[in-house]
Structure 1
Amino acid sequence: MSLKHKLLRKKPIPVLHGGEVRSSLKKQLGAMDLIVLGVGSIVGTGIFVLTGVTAATHAGPGLILSFILAGIVCVFCALCYAEFASTVPVSGSAYTYSYSTFGEGAAWILGWDLILEYGFASALVASSWSGYIQGILSGFGIHLPKAISSAFNPAAGTYIDIPAILIALTIAWIISRGAKESTRLNTFMVYLKVSVVLLFIVVGAFFVKPDNWTPFMPFGFEGVVTGAAIAFLAYVGFDVIATAAEEVKQPQKNLPIGIIGSLVIVSILYVAVTAVLTGLVPYNLLNVKDPVAFALLYIQQDWMSYFISLGAVAGLTTVLMGVMYGQSRLLYSLGRDGLLPKKMSSVDPKTQSPKFSTWVTGIAVALFSGLVPLGHLADLTSIGTLFAFISVSLGIIVLRKTHPDLKRTFRVPFVPWLPLIAAISCVYLLTTLQTITWIGFIIWLLIGVIIYAAYGYRNSRLGKNELGDAE
């Protein structure tokens, strides 16, 4: 078998379709569990931080349109995910979908890309969580020693971020107890943060001054488009739902409901919060780290600031739980396919969850968030996500051509045009990223190529014909 043929070998669709892959994971999640997982994975720093900075520097009150535009692009991508998830209900999300459409080489690159996305996103959220919780503690007069309050930076007198390490390991422990157990806590935290967001919308609506919405687009429509490129990042997270495929009851039905349902809910929340926020405070004053809390102080509703901080902590906790959950299931899939050590796919007989890959995820996130200042690498999470979205969007077109008769319980409308629009939109957003981000991403991919050449290429189960004949 030639090198080219090995890199293009595909996992046969019949092995994947209909959940026919024998899975050791327990099927226990319903549609509502998936919607909660999606909302929990999406609503976090985007709504509590991104809204203010983007409004002040790019879009003004026109950020309302920015979120609508970004939401439309995400809906297009979500429809593509929904068709794949209902047709190929197997853990691994975009990695698994690429394996069945583009071949093993592309699938590995995308899987390695998703490790970057989930890993850095988790570490960044853990660091942000640490900052918020320390802010709450300081309100009660409790201050951590500076040396253990932030990542390694001797010039600033900080050496390790203990709260970030503790939350990463705690979330890993919760996830390791099984999907249903982690979903219960996630559900409670999601309801808490959504309640806080709704409280802000309802209370804030009484103080809105329509004059603050004028001018509506102070930076022109170009500013609105730039705002959409940034606002797009606030929607990242719905793809985590697809990683739960093998733990879902009736996946062909429930996965599309979970993906699209969570995205619709989040879109409504984002637009409503942005409308109220820019109606409360002149847009040029919103360039702060905590715009929602700042807006409440601006209208002298100090009593709500505590609830907002509580909602922010809950929001970051559920985002961290969702992203680390996705990372552990991705590692499980890569290990099961032989592209990473088999130990990654081991399943605890009691909890029926991939405990080893969960703890690998937890320890890695704890180390990165506790020791490495990751602020300047934030865009790496975005570039990984956009590449995944492009792959899934184009994959729908390919799968319709190569397997036109495959049973699909959910179908993307207007193929190939809608998937093409989704892919082109993501390509445009990629062009807005900085050069340093591209350099870091390329270096990461080169490391992945080396690992695949040294291990995955030789140990692939598909290459050993353990998954059936490759297409």
Structure 2
Amino acid sequence: MAERRLHGLQRVLGVNALFSTAYGNVGSSIYYALGLVASFALGLTPVVFVITGFIFYLTAATYAEATAMYPEAGGSSSFARHAFNELASFFAAWAQMLNYTITIAISAFFVPHYLGGVAHVDALRHAPGDIFFSIGLIIALSLVNVRGVKESAGVNIGLAVVDFLTQLLLVAVGIFLVFSPSTLIDNVHFGLAPTWKDFFVAIPVGMIAYTGIETISNMAEEAKDEEKTIPAAINRVVIAVFAIYSLLPMVALSALPVTQNPDGEYVTKLGLPEDQGGFAGDPVLGVVKGFDLGFLQGPTEVYVGILAATILLIASNAGIIGVSRLVYSMGVHRQMPDRMRQLHPKYGTPYIGILIFGVIACIAVIPGKAEFLGNMYAFGAMLSFTVAHVAVVKLRLSKPDARRPWRGPGNIELSGGRSIPLFAVFGGIFTLLAFIVVTALHVDVAIAGIGWLALGMAIYPVYRKRQGLDLTTTTKVAIQRPVLEHEAEYESVLVALDATQGYAKGTIATAAKLAARRRRGIHVLVYIAVPQSSPINASLPEAEAAAESIIEQARLQGGRRVTGHVEKVRAGGAGRMIVQEARQLRAQAIVAPLPPRTGGTLFGKTLETVLAERPCRVIIQSDPVKGPISKRPITVLD
């Protein structure tokens, strides 16, 4: 008996894909965090990044342990649900929502600064030009995500790798050309430059450099062999980030040291705004301008500026994708009105949530204050991280027998199998202190942040009461799932069809002939590409109805031996999914139609992947649109 795989999530992401995607989000932060931290910490900026790197390490250990236990999207919200209850989960999710919204705003805000620095357009480097540009960018990205344009995971991963290698190269060149230990020592004037107040404020602000730590947790449902790949990917991110963020600030403060201005104040161009001759809006480009690269100086500045703008654009878009997935998840768990997670009838994306939080991000940009945005992120992130640390401690005490595929370092064993995770205890203390510092020392942040939390805590009980639910019980919206089917015999022919290309009569006819010769059944796999801005298991009524219609037509044409099911897959993942399905069903042949030619290849990316990794014979059916030429399948043998 062949057991057919359930419709659901496609676990196809390995360690390299998880690492690259996470570093693409975390690594983008250095392009604005360097200037924000330097404006407070001055010559102690490298020390701040080392301290925050240690806190990041503790936080990453917490996320690795909890995500390996519960490989599902949600991050700290998911951890809080398992450790406490739905109210705690909502509280963490609402803080995460603030993080994502600020990530959208701050990443978009720095794009015009880098473009203006490269193109020498001064209007883009200060208000109101940078504000209008970033608001326009957020609006454009929101509309793109509403439409659900397919995003190339391969391009994003490639850019993340290029970004990491570029940062390594900048560090290497900077150490060779400008690094000066004596300059770094002379930059520091304890208690004066910086003041102790500014130094302690810089630490929570420095945590903005680790924007995106939740990325791997939110991709957990798409990770293969998640118990091993998730901790391994997180460890790689920690090593890579710490290496860059401990060295690049040293190079930066060597190239742009702390000096005294005519008023006697200590400043560094890294933290000065552009109208004062500084590079607060494009600090990494400012570092490059501090090099002396000869004839390569101009091209290098252009390259770094464009790369930085591109990475920040992707980071802002990732924030919108994160918002959309979180909105959908919160709606499914009855944490916010269903209207917020409602999918667009045509594009299948949670368009209401995307547009609402896109508008909030635009409002956050209007003051044009990068420091405010940085402090707001620190407010939400420190709160979210603290909840995650506390949740891991609680899980160790309340569920000592729960399976933990990976345990963080430093544990005190107690009776009854319980233990205290020191990494989570100290991580929680540090993030809580950072949260208190950024809240206590910035009245505007306290008002905005506490107001945000109060809004959420006011909406949640009203909504739950209207739904007839209490505040703490986990209740999910029922999502229809197909039942497990046991076929009468192994299918030997797998027909792979794209739901967007409609019914392929010739392909089914070819499969029927092939199956008849081998006296085997036919299984029709219809796949639907899900936009990045929607959860992989999102309900797509129109696309699913079209896919089911294709299967019904195949049954009418091929008879009772035809079975079929629908799979949802990310853009670019269909080929590998078809190969895995063929192996699962022990298919002897894969039959697929020749897709319309849209690029430079005959077969397209999906079929090229199938051909490259084929586990059996592959038959590609070509149906001429018109003319007397008969239909001929293109056969590729194993």
Q: Do Structure 1 and Structure 2 share a fold, with TM-score over 0.5?
A: yes
Q: For residues 326-349 of structure 1, what are the alpha-carbon distances to aligned partners after superposition, in whole Å with 9 as ceiling and x for unaligned? A: 222212211211222446667899
1:251 counterpart residue number: 226
Higher relative contact order (CA 8 A, sep 6+): 1
1:192 to 149, 153, 162: 162
2:189 to 218, 225, 230: 218
Flag the 1:56–1:378 CA change in 2: closer, same or farther, 3 A. closer
Q: Within the alignment, does 1:234 sit opposite 2:209 as a pair?
A: yes
Flag the 1:337–1:82 CA change in 2: closer, same or farther, 3 A. same
CA–CA distance in structure 2, aligned partners of residues 126 and 160 of structure 1: 5
| More deviation, 336-345/388-397 | 336-345
For the residue of structure 2 that corresponds to 1:214, the secondary structure is helix
Q: For residues 45-94 of structure 1, what are the alpha-carbon distances to aligned partners after superposition, in whole Å with 9 as ceiling and x for unaligned? A: x423332453464241x432321211111111111111110001111111
Q: Within the alignment, does 1:367 sit opposite 2:372 as a pair?
A: no
For the residue of structure 2 that corresponds to 1:26, the secondary structure is coil
Name the one with the larger strand percent. 2
1:47 to 7, 17, 30: 30
CA–CA distance in structure 2, aligned partners of residues 228 and 373 of structure 1: 25
Computing the radius of gyration over CA atoms, which structure comes out larger, 1 or 2?
Answer: 2
CA–CA distance in structure 2, aligned partners of residues 466 and 202 of structure 1: 51
Alpha-carbon offset, residue 421 of structure 1: 0.7
> Over aligned residue pairs, what C-alpha RMSD do you find?
3.4
2:569 counterpart residue number: none
CA–CA distance in structure 2, aligned partners of residues 271 and 160 of structure 1: 29
2:140 counterpart residue number: 166
2:407 to 386, 408, 411: 411
For the residue of structure 2 that corresponds to 1:42, the secondary structure is helix
Alpha-carbon offset, residue 115 of structure 1: 1.1
Alpha-carbon offset, residue 368 of structure 1: 3.9
Flag the 1:406–1:83 CA change in 2: closer, same or farther, 3 A. same
Flag the 1:229–1:337 CA change in 2: closer, same or farther, 3 A. closer
Flag the 1:66–1:318 CA change in 2: closer, same or farther, 3 A. same
Q: Within the alignment, does 1:74 sit opposite 2:93 as a pair?
A: no
2:287 counterpart residue number: 295
2:446 counterpart residue number: 438
Flag the 1:456–1:380 CA change in 2: closer, same or farther, 3 A. farther
Flag the 1:436–1:348 CA change in 2: closer, same or farther, 3 A. closer
CA–CA distance in structure 1, aligned partners of residues 127 and 175 of structure 2: 42
1:264 counterpart residue number: 239
**Structure 1 residues 95-110: aligned runs within 5 Å:** 95-110=77-92
What code does the residue aligned with 1:296 have? V
For the residue of structure 1 that corresponds to 2:349, the secondary structure is helix
1:8 counterpart residue number: none
For the residue of structure 2 that corresponds to 1:116, the secondary structure is helix
CA–CA distance in structure 1, aligned partners of residues 253 and 402 of structure 2: 48
**Structure 1 residues 28-427: aligned runs within 5 Å:** 28-44=12-28, 46-52=29-35, 54-55=37-38, 57-60=40-43, 62-138=44-120, 149-151=129-131, 161-170=135-144, 172=145, 176=148, 181-208=151-178, 209-215=180-186, 217-219=188-190, 222=196, 226-284=201-259, 285-286=268-269, 287=271, 288=278, 289=280, 290-301=282-293, 302-303=297-298, 304-342=300-338, 355-357=348-350, 359-360=351-352, 362-370=354-362, 372-374=365-367, 375=369, 376-413=372-409, 414=411, 415-427=420-432
Q: For residues 402-443 of structure 1, what are the alpha-carbon distances to aligned partners after superposition, in whole Å with 9 as ceiling and x for unaligned? A: 111111101123233321111110111112211221221221
Q: For residues 91-117 of structure 1, what are the alpha-carbon distances to aligned partners after superposition, in whole Å with 9 as ceiling and x for unaligned? A: 111111111112111211221221111
| More deviation, 212-221/74-83 | 212-221
Flag the 1:328–1:211 CA change in 2: closer, same or farther, 3 A. same
| More deviation, 417-426/289-298 | 289-298
Alpha-carbon offset, residue 457 of structure 1: 4.4
Alpha-carbon offset, residue 395 of structure 1: 0.8
What code does the residue aligned with 2:20 have? V
What code does the residue aligned with 1:58 have? A
CA–CA distance in structure 2, aligned partners of residues 369 and 127 of structure 1: 10
What code does the residue aligned with 1:447 have? L
CA–CA distance in structure 1, aligned partners of residues 169 and 358 of structure 2: 33
Task: Check conservation: 1:168, 1:365, Cα contact below 8 A.
Answer: no
Alpha-carbon offset, residue 37 of structure 1: 1.7
CA–CA distance in structure 1, aligned partners of residues 474 and 45 of structure 2: 52
Q: What is the percent sequence identity of the aligned residues?
A: 22
What code does the residue aligned with 1:373 have? I
CA–CA distance in structure 2, aligned partners of residues 299 and 465 of structure 1: 57
| More deviation, 213-222/109-118 | 213-222
Q: For residues 167-206 of structure 1, what are the alpha-carbon distances to aligned partners after superposition, in whole Å with 9 as ceiling and x for unaligned? A: 4444x269x456xx44222112212322332232222222
Q: For residues 430-462 of structure 1, what are the alpha-carbon distances to aligned partners after superposition, in whole Å with 9 as ceiling and x for unaligned? A: 122112212212211221122212223443698
Task: Check conservation: 2:36, 2:205, Cα contact below 8 A.
Answer: no
Alpha-carbon offset, residue 135 of structure 1: 4.6
CA–CA distance in structure 1, aligned partners of residues 255 and 476 of structure 2: 61
What code does the residue aligned with 1:431 have? I
Flag the 1:82–1:347 CA change in 2: closer, same or farther, 3 A. farther
Q: Which runs of 5+ in 1 are unaligned?
A: 1-21, 152-157
For normalisation by structure 2, the TM-score amounts to 0.60
CA–CA distance in structure 2, aligned partners of residues 263 and 126 of structure 1: 25
Task: Check conservation: 1:344, 1:356, Cα contact below 8 A.
Answer: no
For normalisation by structure 1, the TM-score amounts to 0.80
Q: Which runs of 5+ in 2 are unaligned?
A: 1-5, 260-267, 272-277, 412-419, 479-638
CA–CA distance in structure 2, aligned partners of residues 103 and 396 of structure 1: 14
| More deviation, 49-58/200-209 | 49-58
Q: For residues 355-412 of structure 1, what are the alpha-carbon distances to aligned partners after superposition, in whole Å with 9 as ceiling and x for unaligned? A: 423x445434543455651533442222111111111101111111111111110112
